[in-house]
Structure 1
Amino acid sequence: MPEIKLDAETRTEFGKGAARRIRRADKIPAVLYGHGEAPRHITLEGHQTMMAMKHSNALFAVQVDGGSQLAIAKDVQREAIRGFIKHIDFLVVNKGEKVEVEVDVHITGESAPGTIHVVESQSLTIEADATNLPEFVEVSIEGLEEGANVTAGDVTLPEGAELVTDPTHTVVTISVPRAEVAAENEDAAADEAPAADEA
């Protein structure tokens, strides 16, 4: 994914009151940090930023003070009920640098008939090039039978990415719904019970 441009301006007001004023103006307070430099407090245009944050692990080119700084979003604080963005922490990155990020797990395929899958881990932690971060990883459960487990180490990662999550960590399990198991047990018990006229 190409860099996403974000227009920003240096922020000089701080505190809860200042943050509320910024959000009332349809803007978002944020901070740029990393590489041993002092944090840079900035303000972002609200709508542009909301649209940009729809992409997981995007690489941003933050335009501020006449320059451009590459960064990734490390922490996005949202309002609990309405979901609007309250604040963003951006980690400054350089091309060629590797960073740790969380990637969502997307399930593909269908497990064996009569089974269901349970996602034990919604995301994995990986290390990858800051300029080539995946939005998600795919986990295929096609044809998997009851009792099958997919671990983090089984997941195919994009080229150049390395797994940080424990490779033995379970990502998906395949099972038969309990109701069906109970029904099968009842049927089996009925088959084994003697008929009334045989008693």
Structure 2
Amino acid sequence: MELTAQPRTSQQKLAEGMIPAVAYNKEKNVSFALDRKAFDRAFRQQSTTGLFDITIEGGETFPALVKTVQMDKRKRAPIHVDFYMVTYGQPVEVHVPVHTSGKSQGEIEGGLVDIVVHALNIVAPGPRRIPSELTVDVTKLGIGDHVTAGDIKLPEGCTLAVAPDLVVVSVLPPRLTEEQLEAEAQAAQVAGMVASGELSEEAAEAVLEGGASVEEAKAASDEALTSGPEKAAGEGSDDAISESGEEK
């Protein structure tokens, strides 16, 4: 896609509707200005993997890829663009978006497909052979399965620029409901209280079955612990009196 630019110095004031831009590589750096609306329209069509032929009025024309775009968050409009100059026929490293296709077996079972890496670094054989996206078929993935960078089929001539064992897509187990999370937390709390002697196993069972709250079960356990020795002491005293009476 072609873009026409106006030459500028770094401190030059821009005309209305123009935004500053810079294009660079290892050898040179060129500053220029772009029509905001024209660039915004072109960028929405091309994205970060799109190739632009930039012509500076009265100057050179060169191919370039968008490196970064600074946006006005309030207006949602570009305010500055960085391009990276490339050379036709020369390999170029790019960041290509990752998308999934199909519905995984894990999703059918209640799981969730998680795109861990949303864009993958690859090396394309030339600027004109950069893929617009990489598609991962997830239909055969079950819960706990994943796809690594090395599993993804790349276009002819393209190679990975990341470790092949990098996890790109995975299928997560079903998310727990709020009630399930609360039940798990309660079970962990009860297990800890049983281990520390704060709850009896019978009281813990009552809590887990829903027959009592943790507070009610703990209060009952505390009462049993305190009343037990007193009752035993009382029974011993009665026996002593009885025996004393018999002796008399």
Normalised by the size of structure 1, how large is the TM-score? 0.80
Q: Which 4+ residue blocks in structure 1 deviate beyond 4 angstroms?
A: none
Distance in 2 of aligned mates of 1:91 and 1:9: 17
2:104 corresponds to which of 94, 111, 117 = 111
Distance in 1 of aligned mates of 2:98 and 2:74: 25
1:179 aligns with 2:193: no
1:121 corresponds to which of 117, 121, 146 = 117
2:31 corresponds to which of 31, 41, 64 = 41
2:160 corresponds to which of 159, 163, 175 = 163
State the Cα deviation string for residues 49-86 of structure 1 (Å, max 9, x = none).
Answer: 10111122111111112432111111211123332111
Gaps of 5+ in 2: 185-248
Aligned counterparts, 1:1-199, within 5 A: 4-12=1-9, 14=11, 18=13, 21-22=14-15, 25-37=16-28, 39-54=29-44, 55-56=46-47, 57-64=49-56, 65-112=58-105, 113-114=108-109, 115-128=111-124, 129-179=126-176
Q: CA RMSD in A?
A: 2.4
Gaps of 5+ in 1: 187-199
- % identical equivalent positions: 32
Task: Name which one, 1 or 2, has greater alpha-carbon Rg.
Answer: 2
* Greater RCO, 1 or 2 (C-alpha within 8 Å, sep 6+): 1
Aligned pair count reads 176
Identify the structure with the greater strand proportion. 1
Normalised by the size of structure 2, how large is the TM-score? 0.65
Corresponding letter in the other structure for 2:156 = E
